Amino acid sequence: MVPAHKKGKWYFSKEDIQDFFASDYVMQGVKIKSQAIVGDFCREERKRSPSACLVYDSPGTEEELMKLCETILEYVNGNSAENDLFSYYYDNKTKVGRFILRGSAEFAKGCLTLLCAT
């Protein structure tokens, strides 16, 4: 599908966006960036404050896990500090969603509580 161009602006359909993120090239980039969050945490020798890094894998349908992702995003948007990070991607091949959280222990605890509530 070709995006629409009107009055100097591009418009993309939901399907266009989904197709873009489902492409192997983009998915590889998302995975690399997510893995870098964990790697950076492990390589950092001096922490300024207590911190946590959590990788949570959840099998399920893309729709189910997107709802869970939206719940986590609501929490993140209302409760995260400057150094808290959240990443999510869904692997269509394995049918597994990966949630990566990095930041304060309280931030990770709040997110983990929501992840385990389902």
Q: What does the pLDDT read at residue 3?
A: 57
pLDDT digits (tens, 9 = 90+) for 80-107: 888 899 999 898 889 999 999 999 989 9
Sequence-separated (6 or more) residues with CB below 8 Å from residue 99: 54, 55, 56, 57, 58, 68, 69, 72, 86, 87, 88, 111, 115
**Count of structural domains, the chain:** 1
Look at residue 3 and tell me if it is in a domain.
no
CATH number at residue 27: 3.30.70
Phi–psi pair at 45, nearest 5 degrees: -85, -35
Model pTM greater than 0.85? no
Distance of CA 81 to the CA centre of its chain: 16
What is the C-alpha separation between 64 and 102, in angstroms, rounded?
23
What is the C-alpha separation between 116 and 118, in angstroms, rounded?
5
Look at residue 1 and tell me if it is in a domain.
no
pLDDT digits (tens, 9 = 90+) for 32-81: 788 888 888 888 887 778 889 999 999 999 999 999 999 999 999 998 88
Look at residue 2 and tell me if it is in a domain.
no
What is the C-alpha separation between 92 and 22, in angstroms, rounded?
8
Q: How far is residue 5 from each of residues 2, 8, 16, 20, 100, measured CA to CA in Å?
A: 9, 7, 14, 17, 35
What is the residue range of 68's domain?
Answer: 9-116
Look at residue 40 and tell me if it is in a domain.
yes
